[in-house]
Amino acid sequence: LIVVEGPGAPEGFAEGVARRLGADLVKPVYKIFPDGESYVRLPGRLEGTVVVVQSMYPQQDKRLVEALLLAEASYGAGASRVILVAPYMAYARQDKRFLEGEPISIKAVLKALGAAGYDALVTIDIHKPESLAYFPGRALDATAVPQLAEAVRGSIGEGEDIVVIAPDRGAVRRAERMASILRAQHDYLEKHRDRYTGEVTYRPKSIDVQGKTVVIVDDMVSTGGTMARAASMLLSLGARRVIAACTHGLFLGDALEKLRKAGIEEIYSANTVPVPEGVKPVDASPAAVEALRELL
């Protein structure tokens, strides 16, 4: 078993996978031609099963093409089977034709990865796990929630009353999973519109957060708008403090500042993408390895 560290692998991720699987770690030569095209070269023969670790953010398009090249190179170097570990799967949010004439982008991407030769795929907390049906082989969606929960546990004091909240109903299963690990209650924020003023507020569906430490968990922080809004609402409802945890922390533009201004004390992000300073990194490679073991 060989683990190939793609140029898009988050720092330490491929090492973590190789170490846990007892596999050899291979680092390809990587460069960009003067015209901007990517070049990869695997050092030596790779026989048996090859696991390529390649996340797809930032530079989604480049990372995707490198993933295609690494599959072809692996078979060329002697691999009998090639599996992709993509901790962050690009294009996952365009999972339907919102407007006529649009592509189902994730369908195109997953079909291309299958056509390149990947016969199985592991990703982490993909936007909609149902999208993985577009991949022609076996595809598993691992979750970094257990790792995030263990990390967050380190910030919780003895006897502190905590609740785990999802910013919307769609994320409630993540909140439920984290809450079960932290032995806490969970809930999600529900949208309310004042019929007279039109003002929109968000409140937990059934839990009172007064005096409690709230952990908000989501799959992704992109502009930070969702997480910041959720934190402000919960603090205004009397939460004692707010901790944020996400799998894919993109933190675009002034997202981190927005989160701080909203009163979030601590921010945790899994290392599916580069984790910026000021955010506590959480190693999600154990989640990928657990899924990989099902495929090996």
For residue 19, count CB atoms less than 10 angstroms from its CB and return exposed for 0-12, middle for 13-18, buried for 19 or more.
middle
What DSSP designation does 136 have?
A: S
Kindly name the residue from 31, 96, 111, 191 that is annotated as catalytic. Answer: 191
Q: Which is nearer to ligand R5P, 113 or 175 (CB)?
A: 175
- Rounded to whole angstroms, the Cα distance separating 272 from 251 reads 13
Query: Is 191 considered catalytic here?
Result: yes
Q: Which residue number, 9 or 255, has a Cβ lying nearer to ligand R5P? A: 255
Name the residue nearer to ligand R5P (CB basis): 167 or 204.
Answer: 167
Does residue number 223 form part of the binding site for ligand R5P (CB under 6 A)?
A: yes
- Interacting positions 154-173 with ligand R5P (CB under 6 A): 167, 170-171
x/- track of binding to ligand R5P for residues 172-211 (CB under 6 A):
----------------------------------------
Is 225 an interacting residue with respect to ligand R5P (CB under 6 A)? yes
The reply to whether 120 sits near ligand R5P by the rule CB under 6 A is no
Answer for which of 176, 222, 235, 265 binds ligand R5P (CB under 6 A) is 222
216 within 8 A of 174, measured Cβ to Cβ: no
Between the alpha carbon of residue 84 and those of residues 114, 122, 172, 218, 231, the distances in Å are 10, 6, 28, 24, 36
Cβ proximity to ligand R5P, 108 vs 252, nearer residue: 252
* Token pair 């015209």 in the structure block, residue: 35
Q: Binding of ligand R5P at residue 219 (CB under 6 A)?
A: yes
Residues 6+ apart with CB under 8 A from 1: 21, 22, 23, 24, 48, 49, 51, 296
- Nearest-approach distance from CB 54 to ligand R5P, in angstroms: 22
Contact by Cβ (8 Å): 120, 83: yes
Active-site residue set: 191
